[in-house]
Amino acid sequence: MCKSENTVSLKNMVEPLLCWYQNNKRKLPWRENNDPYRVWVSEIMLQQTRVEAVKPYFENFIKRLPDVQSLAEVPEEELLKLWEGLGYYSRVRNMKKAAQKICDCFSGVFPQSYEDILSLPGIGQYTAGAIASIAFNQPIPAVDGNVLRVICRLTEDGREGSNPELKKSVTEQLRKIYPQEHAGDFTQALMELGAVICVPNGSPKCADCPVQFMCRAFYSGSQINFPAAAKKKARRIQKKTVLLLCCKDKVAICKRDEGGLLEGLWEFPNLEGLYSAEELETILKEMHIEFESIVFCGEKKHIFTHIEWRMLGFLVFCRTESSQFTWVTKEQLSKDFALPAAFQKFKKIAFADNDSVAHIQ
Ligand code: SF4
Q: How far apart are CA 231 and CA 217, in angstroms?
A: 22
- Mean per-residue pLDDT of the chain: 93
Confidence of residue 19 (pLDDT cuts 50, 70, 90): very high
**Backbone phi and psi for residue 62, each to the nearest 5 degrees, phi listed first:** -70, -35
Q: How far apart are CA 271 and CA 241, in angstroms?
A: 5
pLDDT > 90? residue 357:
no
Confidence of residue 295 (pLDDT cuts 50, 70, 90): very high
Q: Per-residue pLDDT tens for 204-231?
A: 999 999 999 999 999 999 999 999 987 7
Q: What pLDDT does residue 233 have?
A: 82
Q: Pick the atom of ligand 1 nearest to 226's CA.
A: 7
pLDDT > 80? residue 349:
yes
pLDDT > 60? residue 192:
yes
Most confident of 252-261, 273-282, 345-354: 273-282
Confidence of residue 260 (pLDDT cuts 50, 70, 90): confident
Nearest Cα residue to 40 out of 104, 92, 100:
92
Q: What pLDDT does residue 231 have?
A: 77
CA of 222 relative to ligand 1 center, distance in Å: 10
CA distances from 333 to 56, 86, 122, 184, 352 (A): 20, 17, 29, 41, 14
pLDDT > 50? residue 294:
yes
Nearest Cα residue to 192 out of 6, 361, 31:
31
Q: Pick the atom of ligand 1 nearest to 223's CA.
A: 7
CA of 316 relative to ligand 1 center, distance in Å: 55
Q: What pLDDT does residue 5 have?
A: 37
Pocket perturbation via mutation, ligand 1, pick of 24, 154, 170 by most ligand atoms within 8 A of CB? 154
Q: In this prediction, what percent of the chain has a pLDDT beyond 90? A: 86
pLDDT > 60? residue 263:
yes
The average pLDDT across 290-319 equals 95
Other CB atoms within a 10 A radius of the CB of residue 277 amount to 13
Confidence of residue 356 (pLDDT cuts 50, 70, 90): low
Nearest Cα residue to 71 out of 99, 44, 47:
99
Burial per residue of 108-135, b for 16 or more beta-carbon CB atoms within 10 angstroms, e otherwise = eebbeebebbbebebbebbbbbbbbbbb
pLDDT > 90? residue 18:
yes
Q: Per-residue pLDDT tens for 39-92?
A: 999 999 999 889 999 999 999 999 999 999 999 999 999 999 999 999 889 999
The average pLDDT across 318-337 equals 95
What is the length of the chain? 361
Other CB atoms within a 10 A radius of the CB of residue 198 amount to 28
Nearest Cα residue to 123 out of 30, 33, 31, 36:
36
Confidence of residue 354 (pLDDT cuts 50, 70, 90): low
Q: Pick the atom of ligand 1 nearest to 208's CA.
A: 8
Residues involved in catalysis: 43
Pocket perturbation via mutation, ligand 1, pick of 192, 199, 223, 224 by most ligand atoms within 8 A of CB? 223
CA of 81 relative to ligand 1 center, distance in Å: 40
Entry pTM = 0.83
Q: What pLDDT does residue 257 have?
A: 81
Judged by DSSP in three states, 107 sits in coil
pLDDT > 90? residue 34:
yes
Pocket perturbation via mutation, ligand 1, pick of 20, 212, 224 by most ligand atoms within 8 A of CB? 212
